[in-house]
Amino acid sequence: METTYAPDRRKGLRVIFSLAGLIALLIIFLIFRSTIETDATFFLVWVVAGVFLLIPLALLLYRAYALITTSYTLTQNSLELRWGLRRELIPLNQIEWARPLSDFQSQLPLPWFRLPGSIFTARNIKGLGTVQFISTDSAKVVLVHTEPQTFVISPRDLTGFAQQFNRYAELGQRDITQAVSETLKSVWTETWRDQHARTLIRVGLVMVGVTWLTAIGVMAVFPEIIWVDLTTVPSSRLILLALLASLVWLGDLWTGLFFYLRGTVIKLLIYCIWGASILTSTILIAAIFLLAV
């Protein structure tokens, strides 16, 4: 028998999607501004600014995914914590205690940088050691202490979680459970052992490099090109195609890793996802040559 507890995600999702929406609107403006820019220098300024804004946008979207997938599953044998691509499976006999924050007189030091409604980070706290926050609330939380580290979680039903944990602790662990810690590094290591995956990812990255070299080479030879709307524009606009190849490769890489971790999709389909970036780069390289003719 297992019981899965979920945090309150509403506040965190509102904050994340509000920030992501603002950044997305700014990126759209920069893209539009770059497409009508005739000066090569200012064109590069708009493009570089838009690319840098993609970084916080990607981080916010992953934070939203981590928040949506956060769950705390309690059984008589273990406590399983999931958030994003992370997973911790803790045998119940390795948990020394699990207590609500209200049982302590002192306040819990919080990470200095955190978004309201979603706290996913680790820090060292005196007396507790390494503390991993997997919570959506800064006050209504449960501290789960193990020898290596302490986890801060925020199930909606704090009382129900504590009572269920104490009940299982009194019954004792029924089956032997091995501790499991899955991180992005471990997921990547597992994926990299797959020869087909390794080859597709490498070839995709090489093709992205070839796309960039092709774009730069054409820019060095032809100061102007005929764009897709049949107007003459500076050849620096070819950077947009090289950026598109890079973004497609990154998007396919993360999508493939997601399905590879979940194990819910056959590997052939995952290989097709990673192979799609190779095809995309090939098409974009051909497009660069055609625009330069």
- Other residues' Cβ atoms within 10 Å of the Cβ of residue 71: 16
Angstrom distance (rounded) from CA 111 to CA 133: 9
pLDDT of residue 38: 72
Per-residue pLDDT tens for 128-163?
Answer: 889 999 999 888 999 999 988 999 999 998 888 988
Is the pLDDT at 230 greater than 80? The verdict is: no
Radius of gyration of the chain (CA): 24
Query: Residue 278: its pLDDT value, please?
Result: 96
pLDDT by residue (tens digit) across 182-218?
A: 887 887 888 888 899 999 999 999 999 999 999 999 9
Residues contacting 45, CB < 8 A, separation 6+: none
Average pLDDT for 17-35: 90
Long-range contacts of 157-160 (CB under 8 A, 24+ apart): 157/5, 158/100, 160/5
At residue 39, does pLDDT exceed 80?
no
Q: How confident is the model at residue 232 (pLDDT cuts 50, 70, 90)?
A: confident
Q: Cβ(47)–Cβ(223) under 8 Å? A: no
pLDDT value of position 134: 95
Task: Let me know: does 156 contact 5? Beta carbons within 8 Å.
Answer: yes
Q: For residue 186, which of 274, 86, 253 has the smallest C-alpha distance? A: 86
Distance of CA 219 to the CA centre of its chain: 34
Average pLDDT over residues 48-73: 92
In 3D, which of 49, 43, 51 has the Cα closest to residue 225?
43
Find, among 65, 62, 92, the residue nearest to 78 by Cα.
92
Report CA dihedral (232, 54, 249, 182) to the nearest 10 degrees. 180
| C-alpha to C-alpha distance for 95 and 188, rounded to whole angstroms | 28
Q: How far apart are CA 258 and CA 113, in angstroms?
A: 26
CA–CA separation, 3 vs 72, rounded Å? 8
Q: What is the pLDDT of residue 32?
A: 83
Give the per-residue pLDDT at 212: 94
Q: Please report, rounded to a whole number, the percentage of residues in the chain having pLDDT higher than 90.
A: 47
Query: Which amino acid, one-letter code, is at 213?
Result: L
Q: What is the three-state SS of 32-58? A: HHHHCCCCHHHHHHHHHHHHHHHHHHH
Task: Give per-residue pLDDT as tens, 238-275.
Answer: 888 999 999 999 999 988 888 887 777 788 999 999 99
Report the alpha-carbon distance of residue 22 to residue 108 in Å, rounded: 32
- Which tens digits make up the pLDDT trace of 1-22? 788 999 999 999 999 999 999 9
What is the pLDDT at residue 214?
A: 95
Report the DSSP beta bridge partners of residue 232: 226
Q: Among 285, 110, 125, which residue's Cα sits nearest to residue 214?
A: 285
Position with higher pLDDT, 245 vs 223: 245
- For 155-187, how does the pLDDT look when each residue is reduced to its tens digit (9 = 90+)? 998 888 988 888 888 887 677 778 888 887 887
Question: What are 94-113's pLDDT values in tens digits?
Answer: 998 888 888 887 788 888 88
pTM score of the predicted model: 0.82
